[in-house]
Structure 1
Amino acid sequence: MATTNGGNVEVVAALPAITRQDNPPPKQPALEPLTLAGIAARRAKAGKLIAGTAAYSDSDMFKSPQAYNQLKARRWDHLLSPEVMAREACALKKAALNLKKPGLLSLGGGLPSSDNFPIESLSMQVPYPPFLGKTSTEALRRDTTMGKHDIRDKDGVYDISIALNYGQAIGSAQMLRWVTEHTELVFCPPYADWRCALSIGSTGALDSALRMFCDRNRRDSVLTEEYSFATALETMTPLGIKVFGVHIDEQGLLPNSLDEILRNWDESARGARKPTVLYTVPSGQNPTGTTMGVQRRKDVYDVCSKHDVFIFEDEPYYYLQMPPYDKANSAAHPGAVDVYSNQSTEDFLKNLIPTLLSIDVDGRVLRMDSFSKVVVPGSRMGWVTGSEQVIERYIRLQECCTQGPAGFSQALMYKLLDETWGHEGYLRWLIHMRSEYTQRRDALLDACEKHLPKDVMSWTPPATGMFLWLRVDHTRHPHAGQKTILELEEEIFDSCIERGVLACRGSWFCAERDAELTGLFFRTTFASSSPTDMDVAIQRLGEAVRGSFGI
Structure 2
Amino acid sequence: MSPPTAIDTQPAAEDIYVPTIIDRLSVNGVPSRRLKTAALPKSLAPATSSDVFKGSQYGKPKARRWDHLISEESKQRMPSSLKGAARYLKQPGLISLGGGLPSSEYFPIEKIDVKVPRPPHFSEQETKETGVTMSIGKHDIAEGKSLYDLHVALNYGQATGSAQLLRFVTEHTEIVHNPPYSDWQSVLTTGSTSALDIALRLFFVRGDIMLTEEYAFSSTVEAARPLGVRACGIKMDDQGLVPAEMDRILSTWNPAKWNGSPKPKVLYTVPSGQNPTGATQSIERRRELYKVCQKHDIYILEDEPYYFLQMSPWKGADASPQIPPSSHEEFLSSLVPSYLSLDIDGRVMRLDSFSKVIAPGSRCGWVTASEQIIERFIRHQEYSTQNPSGISQIILYKLLDETWGHGGYLDWLIDLRMHYTTRRDILLAACDQHIPRQVTTWTAPAAGMFHWFTIHTSSHPSHKTSSPKTLLEIEEEIFLAGIARGVLTSRGSWFRAEGSNNLKRIVAPRAAAHGTQAESPEIDPEHDDRIYFRATFAAASGQDIEKAIARFGEALRSTFGITEANGHAI
- Provide TM-score, normalisation by structure 2: 0.88
CA distance, structure 1, for counterparts of residue 138 and residue 268 of structure 2: 41
- Where 1:154 maps in the other structure, the secondary structure is coil
CA distance, structure 2, for counterparts of residue 45 and residue 461 of structure 1: 46
- State yes or no: 1:209 paired with 2:199: yes
Between 1:414-423 and 1:280-289, the stretch displaced more is 414-423
For 2:47, the equivalent position in structure 1 comes to: 56
For 1:531, the equivalent position in structure 2 comes to: 542
5 Å-filtered alignment, 1:164-243, equals 164-216=154-206, 219-243=207-231
Once the two structures are TM-superposed, the CA of residue 44 in structure 1 deviates from its matched residue by 3.8
Deviations 1:258-283 (A, max 9, x none): 00010000012212111111000000
CA distance, structure 2, for counterparts of residue 315 and residue 140 of structure 1: 32
CA distance, structure 2, for counterparts of residue 89 and residue 462 of structure 1: 44
5 Å-filtered alignment, 1:470-509, equals 470-480=453-463, 482-509=468-495
For 2:68, the equivalent position in structure 1 comes to: 78
The equivalent position to 2:112 in structure 1, one of 115, 122, 125, is 122
> Runs of 5+ in structure 1 lacking a partner?
1-30, 331-335
CA distance, structure 2, for counterparts of residue 193 and residue 51 of structure 1: 26
Q: C-alpha root-mean-square deviation of aligned residues, in Å?
A: 1.4
The code of the aligned residue for 1:408 comes to I
CA distance, structure 2, for counterparts of residue 250 and residue 180 of structure 1: 33
5 Å-filtered alignment, 1:264-275, equals 264-271=252-259, 272-275=261-264
Once the two structures are TM-superposed, the CA of residue 98 in structure 1 deviates from its matched residue by 1.3
5 Å-filtered alignment, 1:269-288, equals 269-271=257-259, 272-288=261-277
CA distance, structure 2, for counterparts of residue 451 and residue 328 of structure 1: 13
- State yes or no: 1:405 paired with 2:405: no
For 1:389, the equivalent position in structure 2 comes to: 372
- Where 2:458 maps in the other structure, the secondary structure is helix
- State yes or no: 1:38 paired with 2:49: no
Question: Is the CA contact (8 Å cut-off) linking 1:501 and 1:541 kept in structure 2?
Answer: yes
The equivalent position to 2:87 in structure 1, one of 89, 97, 105, is 97
Once the two structures are TM-superposed, the CA of residue 514 in structure 1 deviates from its matched residue by 5.1
Once the two structures are TM-superposed, the CA of residue 103 in structure 1 deviates from its matched residue by 2.0
Deviations 1:63-96 (A, max 9, x none): 011x343111011110000000111000001101
CA distance, structure 2, for counterparts of residue 345 and residue 33 of structure 1: 11
CA distance, structure 2, for counterparts of residue 319 and residue 244 of structure 1: 28
The code of the aligned residue for 1:119 comes to I
Aligned length: 512
- State yes or no: 1:252 paired with 2:240: yes
The code of the aligned residue for 2:377 comes to Y
Once the two structures are TM-superposed, the CA of residue 130 in structure 1 deviates from its matched residue by 0.8
Once the two structures are TM-superposed, the CA of residue 32 in structure 1 deviates from its matched residue by 5.4
- Where 2:113 maps in the other structure, the secondary structure is strand
The code of the aligned residue for 1:536 comes to K
Deviations 1:464-501 (A, max 9, x none): 00000001111121223711000000011111111111
> Runs of 5+ in structure 2 lacking a partner?
1-21, 504-527, 563-570
Deviations 1:153-195 (A, max 9, x none): 1342000000010000110000110000000110000100000
Question: Is the CA contact (8 Å cut-off) linking 1:169 and 1:398 kept in structure 2?
Answer: yes
Question: Is the CA contact (8 Å cut-off) linking 1:227 and 1:245 kept in structure 2?
Answer: yes
- State yes or no: 1:459 paired with 2:442: yes
Question: Is the CA contact (8 Å cut-off) linking 1:343 and 1:431 kept in structure 2?
Answer: no
Moved beyond 3 Å, runs of 4+: 44-48, 137-140
CA distance, structure 2, for counterparts of residue 240 and residue 47 of structure 1: 43
The code of the aligned residue for 2:168 comes to W
Once the two structures are TM-superposed, the CA of residue 338 in structure 1 deviates from its matched residue by 3.7
Question: Is the CA contact (8 Å cut-off) linking 2:110 and 2:137 kept in structure 1?
Answer: yes
- Where 1:476 maps in the other structure, the secondary structure is coil
Task: Give me the identity figure in percent.
Answer: 53
Question: Is the CA contact (8 Å cut-off) linking 2:118 and 2:127 kept in structure 1?
Answer: no
Once the two structures are TM-superposed, the CA of residue 339 in structure 1 deviates from its matched residue by 1.5
